[in-house]
A and B are shown apart, each in its own frame.
Chain A
Amino acid sequence: MNVIETNGLTKYYGESRGIIDLSLSVEQGDFFGFIGPNGSGKSTTIRSLLGLITPTSGSASIFGKDCVKDKLKILSNVGYVPSEAMFYSGMRVDEIIALSAKLYKKDCSKKASELCERLSVDTKKKVDELSLGNRRKVSIVCAMQHEPSLYVLDEATSGLDPLMQNEFFSLLNECNAAGATVFLSSHVLSEIQRYCRHAGVVREGKLITVRTVEEITKSSAKRVILHGVAETPKIEGIYDITTNDDHVSFLYSGEMKRLIESLVELPIIDMTVTEPDLDETFMHFYGGEIK
């Protein structure tokens, strides 16, 4: 069964584009990554799904229910972490969490205190005093305390330190293992690679591809910079080469082992292997092996 399904979903903000003809389906129990650069339409898709905005055309459904007509039934079973979490100024963290539970008409105090402990949330603080990361943690608690069966996370990890990111993802993994579906939007490819099973790539409002993360990882390149050599190793899968006097930089896609073996003989002083930035990845998706 598909938990999320959109058909030709299109949203224009006046003249400017939000998303165009986006058709997507996410199966129950999936850990789905939704990846694209800023302004590509990730948030617009999510906001249409949650009924914050009305699509210009097309339709969307969650749990098989229409996102416009059955919004309330859907929302009571969805946990949403927004990209910018803002709360009512002057209120304390525990008051916000209690308010959220009340709006779900559910007593979640036990789950809430468990989540606060695991994410080390200081519940006595005023929300105005919170940093971006701490605000994020509060909205994670609000999204998870009522134990929904779908989690929608919009760039949910930005602002969290690595330790917290780990804790957050292990929480999500537990929920996922218990049967919940996770829909995670991000512009960080490595995050998607590490946690998701399927991923959809969106660019300029259009869904380019949906495939398993394995396929994306296989096809996604690494940016390699070698210091001390002036030419690239002679193996396949190297492109977008720039050479300098003391270093060479290229994108490599293929098995890591093969690259390492080819580097052994070279007089390398230093080397870095990084994720290419997203634009490079997308160039890759457009111009590389995947068509």
Chain B
Amino acid sequence: MTIVKHELKRNWKSLLIWSAILGGMIFMFMLMFPAIKDQIGAMQEAYANMGSFTAMFGMDKINFTTAMGFYGIEAGAMISLGGAMFAALTGAGALSKEEGNHTAEFLLTHPISRKQIVAEKLIFVALQVLCFNLFCFVCALISFGIINEPLEMNKLLLFHFVQLIMQWEIACICLCVSAFQKKANVGLGLGFSAILYFMNLFVNASEDAKFLKYITPFNYSDASEVFSTGHLDGVLIGIGCAIAVAGVVVAFVKYCKKDINA
């Protein structure tokens, strides 16, 4: 576990910054809620007539005049996108940073197998993303407590749980891609999560794009689904997990054979 510890130690700052920003956003949105609660009713009426735009953000499914609904639409979107980006960056950087910063040579000339390196990096990524999500969840709980609005615990738990699954999936895919690269690619990680996010907006907006829900993990983790139905889509999550596992396997195979050049 030397590498796990080493990575956690090196990356706690990035964890802190991302958590603070996302946590701050959750507080901002939720503390705003009591002040604008009364106007939201009018807003929802306006949105209701905007057709597929309304559907895109799931506003046809949730009642966002309640604190839970508001959380799902506003903070939920932030957590989804922000969390996915954090996971993508963490996953994409875990292996390729070593080569980009020329530390791979240092690490790999020690008696530690590449398999173990990938395994420990994977554990690090999983822990890093888990800590981030725990922090967000706690921020959500506190903010509901502060504004003293009714909270549906099981739905909130379910939502944050499925966020974690989604972020792990994205991190695994990015780790897989990064095993093929020579340098840490920040743009790729961010772009990848943005594309998947927009893919889900299309799924929500258009019948023709429904098939994309099998690809993008933002669909099974969509706040409007979780909050309106109160349960998860096992099939989609299963597909997501399978993709993640496949990504990890490919990363293992590729990284164990990779030439590390100066």
Contacts and interface: CB of A to CB of B under 8 A. Distances in A.
Q: DSSP majority for the A interface?
A: loop
A80 B103 contact: no
Q: DSSP majority for the B interface?
A: loop
A13 to B, nearest CB: 8
A84 interface: yes
User: Which size bracket describes the interface of A in this complex?
Assistant: 20 to 34
B102 A75 contact: no
Nearest to A71: B113
Contact of A87 (B106, B113, B261, B262): B106
Contact of A103 (B2, B10, B261, B262): B2
Given A75-B110, A87-B103, A103-B110, A54 B259 contact: yes
Interface stretch (A2-10, A24-32, A45-53, A161-169): A45-53
A102 interface: yes
A266 interface: no
A90 B260 contact: no
B113 A82 contact: no
Contacts of B262: 43, 47, 82-84
A224 to B, nearest CB: 37
Contacts of B111: 72-73, 75-76, 103-105
A50 B108 CA distance: 9
- Select the residue from B106, B109, B259 with max chain A CB neighbours within 10 A: B109
Contacts of B10: 88, 90-91
Contacts of A102: 2
A103 B3 CA distance: 9
A50 B109 contact: yes
Given A54-B257, A88-B101, A99-B6, A82 B109 contact: yes
A50 B111 CA distance: 10
B113 A99 contact: no
Given A52-B260, A53-B260, A103-B2, A88 B103 contact: yes
B119 to A, nearest CB: 14
A104 B106 contact: no
A89 B109 CA distance: 18
B112 interface: yes
Contacts of A86: 101-103, 105-106
A100 interface: yes
B112 A72 contact: yes
- Select the residue from B10, B106, B113 with max chain A CB neighbours within 10 A: B106
Contacts of B108: 50-52
Contacts of B105: 52, 82, 84, 86
Interface in A62-96: 71-73, 75-76, 78, 80, 82-91
A104 B112 CA distance: 8
A53 B101 contact: no
B107 to A, nearest CB: 8
Interface of B: 2, 6, 10, 101-103, 105-113, 257, 259-262
26 contacts: A43-B262, A47-B260, A47-B261, A50-B109, A73-B111, A75-B109, A75-B110, A82-B106, A84-B102, A84-B105, A85-B106, A86-B105, A88-B103, A89-B101, A99-B6, A100-B106, A100-B110, A102-B2, A103-B2, A103-B110, A103-B111, A103-B112, A104-B110, A104-B111, A105-B111, A139-B106
